[in-house]
Amino acid sequence: MYVVLVYDISLENNGHKRWLHVFKICKKYLSHIQNSVFEGEITKVQLMKLQQELKKYIDMEEDSVIIFKSRQEKWLEKEFWGKEDDKSSCFL
């Protein structure tokens, strides 16, 4: 499946440390495309692992994570406004 993951981590109550953990976990499974936004192909099992790892660091009172799911990337139309930062251009 293809997912887009968006998170917002509060800086309150040691938030920078939580943000760092969340960022590193997301980077293991998905491609970082913009600030707190990741996307990519992922299996159901990988998604479950990602969610389990994230739950350790998400403060349910202060933080939020949204995961948009699609069968494949082709079913998701993207529209860019402003500077388009193609982070995948770093790959050979």
Q: Is 8 annotated as a binding residue?
A: yes
Three-state DSSP class for 27? helix
Q: State the Cα–Cα distance between residues 81 and 59, nearest whole angstrom.
A: 31
Closest CA to 28 of 12, 9, 52: 52
Mode of pairing for the β-strands spanning 2-8 and 31-34: unpaired
List, as residue ranges, the binding site. Answer: 8
List, as residue ranges, the binding site for Mg(2+). Answer: 8
